[in-house]
């Protein structure tokens, strides 16, 4: 599959993941859960959905998704989640919860660029 097609599909699948991630994060933090825990829960919900979406559509191959891809995905997800949680938590503690809710999409957009290349060249390769 061409880079342009994969990029387009990754953006589309990422948008669906992002909506789920953001809704879970905002909903849980609004309900009183700490912002950091809510962010991890949101990212986990989006990740489970995204692993399947990207493995099935964006980076599909003749091989079925296996343990190797799942392990690589989990490692990348953990690293990106640490970055996301630190940045969103920092904004939340220093500027406020609503500012963190607004900052989260920007943080995730920046991390999505990194995630695309990790996914294309390492996870689903």
Q: What is the DSSP string of 11-66?
A: HHHHHHHHHHHHHHHHHHHHTT--HHHHHHHHHHHHHHHHHHHIIIIIT--SSPP-
In tens, the pLDDT along 59-90 reads: 877 677 789 989 999 999 999 999 999 999 99
- Give me the pLDDT at residue 87, please: 98
- Give me the pLDDT at residue 17, please: 94
The mean pLDDT of 85-107, rounded to a whole number, is: 97
User: Could you give the count of Cα atoms lying within 13 Å of 45 in the half-sphere of its Cβ?
Assistant: 17
The answer to whether residue 1 scores a pLDDT higher than 80 is no
CA distance 49 to 45: 6
- Evaluate whether 38 touches 28 at the Cβ level (below 8 Å): yes
Name the pTM for this structure.
0.82
In tens, the pLDDT along 33-45 reads: 999 999 999 999 9
């Amino acid at each position: 599959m061409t880079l342009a097609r994969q990029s387009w599909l990754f953006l589309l699948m990422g948008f669906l993941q992002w909506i789920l991630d953001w809704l879970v994060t905002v909903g849980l933090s609004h309900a009183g859960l700490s912002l950091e825990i809510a962010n991890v829960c949101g990212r986990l919900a989006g990740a489970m959905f995204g692993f399947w979406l990207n493995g099935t559509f964006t980076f599909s191959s003749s091989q079925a998704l296996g343990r190797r891809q799942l392990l690589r995905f989990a490692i990348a997800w953990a690293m990106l989640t640490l970055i996301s949680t630190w940045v969103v938590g920092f904004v939340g503690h220093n500027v406020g919860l609503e500012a963190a809710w607004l900052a989260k999409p920007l943080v995730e957009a920046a991390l999505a660029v990194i995630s695309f290349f990790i996914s294309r060249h390492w996870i689903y390769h």
